[in-house]
């Protein structure tokens, strides 16, 4: 295998590889990056590098993505890395060699020294990947477990009765709020979470927040002051999720399951080949972790997007995040990943110095 950085010539092959490698589970999902791999991954950070493994014929056989983005670490803006998109064809999986791939990744890391460490996630139940990546064998970097990150798909259902609003809370759109005030709120409250994105006004005119507008925010006010905010981010123009199949039992029961889902007012399990239409809840931020305020924001997002083409909106919160309690009144489907910090020797002190009391944050739209 030969490892190199992706160029425009690899774009189509990378998109084919991505679609051909669905995530395992009862519902098999493939992530797509149409019409451009490069554009889809530009949202991941100021640095976005795709590592490509090619076989003896020059064909793309595997890939991975290294990205770097400014996040708050221990309350201060810091450049943090993220490792994602690890894919390989079954026929070369044994020959690909994690050690060889990580040697190339380390060369990229040492070439710019942009970040001391990297975040990454492994879906729970993917024991093969977990054992291979966290074994610390063959000079692989250290993987330090940071707990469970839980992604919840909140179904948009007209049959659901909205919960009573929190007292004294008013929800407005971001277009109705002075943009500098909203940014100031995110910059003052966001750093309480470990790895919350650094948000600057100029970033919204770049690929970092492609397609996200002030009007997509919902803002909670109490007594005329901002106490919470979150944005609905539709990435379907450049990043998609496609249903590729079901396990044998669910494939057999899908027609019956869809009857039951219809009776509950929930979306049907789509046929293989269909794209899931959903939005990400981005930059969730609530002063004092007020669950009632977050619930009011969720209610407004549910109401405002129920008439669109979407089946759900996706909320990602760490297992220790108290805001998860606001999801109790919504119909959801949740799955968990393990969050890890990855570093070589030069990042060990950085990882050891992280404040264990800060709750980790990840943006589902940037995974």
CA atoms within 13 A on the CB side of 365: 28
Q: What is the pLDDT of residue 135?
A: 74
359, 321 contact by CB (below 8 A) = yes
pLDDT digits (tens, 9 = 90+) for 335-349: 899 999 999 999 999
110-116 LR contacts (CB < 8 Å, sep 24+): 112/47, 113/346, 114/47, 114/68, 114/79, 114/81, 115/68, 115/79, 115/80, 115/81, 115/347, 116/343, 116/346, 116/347, 116/350, 116/351
The two tokens of residue 5 are: 């950085």
144, 119 contact by CB (below 8 A) = no
CA 142 from centre of chain: 22
pLDDT confidence band for 295 (50 / 70 / 90): very high
In the predicted structure, residue 93 carries a pLDDT above the cut 80: no
CA atoms within 13 A on the CB side of 67: 24
- 3-state DSSP assignment of residue 45: coil
Closest C-alpha to 66, from 46, 88, 81: 81
Strand-strand pairing, 332-343 and 118-123: antiparallel
CA atoms within 13 A on the CB side of 76: 5
In the predicted structure, residue 91 carries a pLDDT above the cut 70: no
Which of the residue ranges 134-148, 178-192, 341-355 would you say has the lowest mean pLDDT?
A: 134-148
DSSP string covering 55-102:
-TTS-EEEEEEEEEEEEEETTEEEEEEEEEEEEE-GGGHHHH-HHHHH
What share of the chain has pLDDT > 70, as a percent?
Answer: 97
Q: What is the pLDDT of residue 207?
A: 95
* Polymer length in residues for the chain: 367
In the predicted structure, residue 95 carries a pLDDT above the cut 60: no
pLDDT digits (tens, 9 = 90+) for 224-283: 999 999 999 999 999 999 999 999 999 999 999 999 988 887 889 999 999 999 999 999
pLDDT confidence band for 160 (50 / 70 / 90): confident
Q: What is the pLDDT of residue 221?
A: 97
133, 98 contact by CB (below 8 A) = yes
- Total Cβ atoms within 10 A of residue 260: 11
pLDDT digits (tens, 9 = 90+) for 48-70: 999 999 988 999 999 999 999 99
E-strand stretches of 203-331: 217-222, 225-233, 240-246, 275-276, 278-286, 312-318
In the predicted structure, residue 21 carries a pLDDT above the cut 70: yes
pLDDT digits (tens, 9 = 90+) for 161-188: 888 878 899 999 999 999 999 999 999 9
Q: What is the pLDDT of residue 138?
A: 63
Computed over every residue of the chain, the mean pLDDT equals 93
In the predicted structure, residue 220 carries a pLDDT above the cut 80: yes
Q: What is the pLDDT of residue 226?
A: 98
Which of the residue ranges 80-84, 116-120, 209-213, 328-332 would you say has the lowest mean pLDDT?
A: 328-332
The two tokens of residue 88 are: 């390989």
In the predicted structure, residue 100 carries a pLDDT above the cut 90: no
Q: For residue 194, what is the enclosing H or E element?
A: none
Angle in degrees, CA 116, 118, 121, rounded to 5: 165
- Total Cβ atoms within 10 A of residue 289: 16
Q: What is the pLDDT of residue 166?
A: 81
| Total-model pTM | 0.94
User: What gap in Å lies between CA 219 and CA 36, rounded to an integer?
Assistant: 33
In the predicted structure, residue 193 carries a pLDDT above the cut 80: yes
Q: What is the pLDDT of residue 96?
A: 58
């Amino acid at each position: 295998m030969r490892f190199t950085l992706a160029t425009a010539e690899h774009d189509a092959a990378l998109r084919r590889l991505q679609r051909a490698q669905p995530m395992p589970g009862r519902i098999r999902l493939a992530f797509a990056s149409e019409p451009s791999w490069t554009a889809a991954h530009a949202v991941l950070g100021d640095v976005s590098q795709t590592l490509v493994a090619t076989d003896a014929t020059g064909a793309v056989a595997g890939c991975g993505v290294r990205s770097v983005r400014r996040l708050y670490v221990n309350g201060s803006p810091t450049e943090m890395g993220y490792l994602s998109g690890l894919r390989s064809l079954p026929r070369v999986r044994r020959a690909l060699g994690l050690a060889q791939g990580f040697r190339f990744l380390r060369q990229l890391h040492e070439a710019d020294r942009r970040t001391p460490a990297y975040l990454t996630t492994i879906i729970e139940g993917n024991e093969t990947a977990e054992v291979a990546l966290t074994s610390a064998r063959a000079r692989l970097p250290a993987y330090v477990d940071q707990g469970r990150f839980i992604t919840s798909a909140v179904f948009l259902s007209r049959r659901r009765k909205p919960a009573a609003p929190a007292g004294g809370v008013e929800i407005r759109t971001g277009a109705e709020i002075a943009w500098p005030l909203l940014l100031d709120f995110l910059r003052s409250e966001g750093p309480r979470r470990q790895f919350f994105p650094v948000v600057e006004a100029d970033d919204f005119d770049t690929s970092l927040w492609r397609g996200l507008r002030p009007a997509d925010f919902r803002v909670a006010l109490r007594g005329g002051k901002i106490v919470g905010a979150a944005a609905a981010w539709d990435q379907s123009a450049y990043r998609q999720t496609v249903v590729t199949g079901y396990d044998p039992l669910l494939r057999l029961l899908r027609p019956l399951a869809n009857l039951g889902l219809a009776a509950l007012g929930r979306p049907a399990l789509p046929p293989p080949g269909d794209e899931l239409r959903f939005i990400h809840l981005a930059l969730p931020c609530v002063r004092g972790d007020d669950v009632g305020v977050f619930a009011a924001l969720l209610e407004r997002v549910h109401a405002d997007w129920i008439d669109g083409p979407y089946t759900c909106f996706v909320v990602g919160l760490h297992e220790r995040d108290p805001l998860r309690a606001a999801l109790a009144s919504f119909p959801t489907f949740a799955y968990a990943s393990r969050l890890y910090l990855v570093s070589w020797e030069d990042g060990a002190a950085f990882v050891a110095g992280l404040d264990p009391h800060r709750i980790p944050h990840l943006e589902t739209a940037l995974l």
